[in-house]
Structure 1
């Protein structure tokens, strides 16, 4: 997982509330066996409108999505986070998030920033013309107009995002401790490390 310390750029002023995971990535995309290419299916039903905001040249490559209340509700499909990442989204700012979606987003290196609706409304206004910046270390969202909105984030998730540690990375970070444990276990319980030898011993006794 890539490290995330600051996310800056144009933000897609989507703004919709109660956006469920079926809107983020329709169910027929769940048959895929790879995460790659899911960005093509992100917000597919909305993108049927030729004037949709997701295919606008103005917001091409935007790393931030601004949404309304209860973003990511509905099913628990992790494909929603995968689709957003493949679309190029590194952070979502919304009034609130589904707990399951927020967890999936975190595991896939997406920063979720919850702010009051009035601050969301202000960022929507700014995003139509100017970039937005998210400083994860200092937990603040800023704009070129001196707007400064602080947000809360779980300390463990913040550390993992800033250090680029997913569940595999967290395990590998404990590699020395794991190796030490396995070494001691092998010495104390050799029948676990080499069961074939002890099968022979049992057979001859």
Structure 2
């Protein structure tokens, strides 16, 4: 998993709410069983609109996405997280996330930060007025800092620790490999057993 401690970058203001995973990356761009090829499908159905924020030159290279309420609802499409990461995003700020999207993001190293709607509105206005405004997302202190403001946020303690270490849930499990192996050795064999037909 990609480690996340503190990240500073510019922001893309996505003034849209109820963005589901099919809008993040349409199904036709999802190559099954592959981690590659997702970046070119990000927000694909909106890319033919020249005024869409992600098409504007001033937002190229943005690494923090500031979205509206209910971001990432819909299907459990993990490719939505991959598409955002392949396009350079390290964090998504929104008032509320789809539960499965949030968990997928936390497991892959994309930080979903829940902020009040008023803070999101301030960030939209600020980054629209000045797209070069730096936004700092600090997981160590659980703060978002921009201009002269600091917004507090909370991430589940277990997920936060994994992100800070760059470790996923499998790595957490493997940290107990010796105890797991000892338990398996001491455990009674599973019954019944099958035998080959003669």
Counting only pairs closer than 5 Å after superposition, residues 144-155 of structure 1 correspond to structure 2 as 145-155=147-157
Contact kept in structure 1, 2:143 and 2:151, CA below 8 Å: yes
Q: What CA deviation, in whole Å up to 9, does each residue of 1:5-60 have, x standing for no partner? A: 11210011112110011100101123433121201001001112234322333222
Contact kept in structure 2, 1:18 and 1:71, CA below 8 Å: yes
Per-residue deviation, 1:176: 3.0
Matches of 2:57 and 2:176 in 1, distance apart?
A: 44
* Higher helix content, 1 or 2: 1
Matches of 1:75 and 1:21 in 2, distance apart?
A: 6
SS at match of 1:48: coil
In the alignment, which residue of structure 2 is the partner of 1:132? 135
Contact kept in structure 2, 1:66 and 1:92, CA below 8 Å: yes
In the alignment, which residue of structure 1 is the partner of 2:50? 50
In the alignment, which residue of structure 2 is the partner of 1:170? 172
Q: Which has the larger radius of gyration?
A: 1
Counting only pairs closer than 5 Å after superposition, residues 1-205 of structure 1 correspond to structure 2 as 1-128=1-128, 129=130, 130-143=133-146, 145-182=147-184, 184-185=185-186
Q: What CA deviation, in whole Å up to 9, does each residue of 1:124-181 have, x standing for no partner? A: 12223201111111111111x2101101211111111111111222222223333443
Larger mean CA deviation between 3-12 and 122-131 belongs to: 122-131
Contact kept in structure 2, 1:35 and 1:83, CA below 8 Å: no
Larger mean CA deviation between 35-44 and 159-168 belongs to: 159-168
SS at match of 2:112: strand
TM-score, length basis structure 2: 0.87
TM-score, length basis structure 1: 0.84
SS at match of 1:33: coil
Structure 1: runs of 5+ lacking an equivalent: 200-205
Deviation beyond 6 Å, 4+ runs, structure 1: none
Q: 1:150 to 1:33 in 2, by over 3 A?
A: same
Q: How many residues align?
A: 189
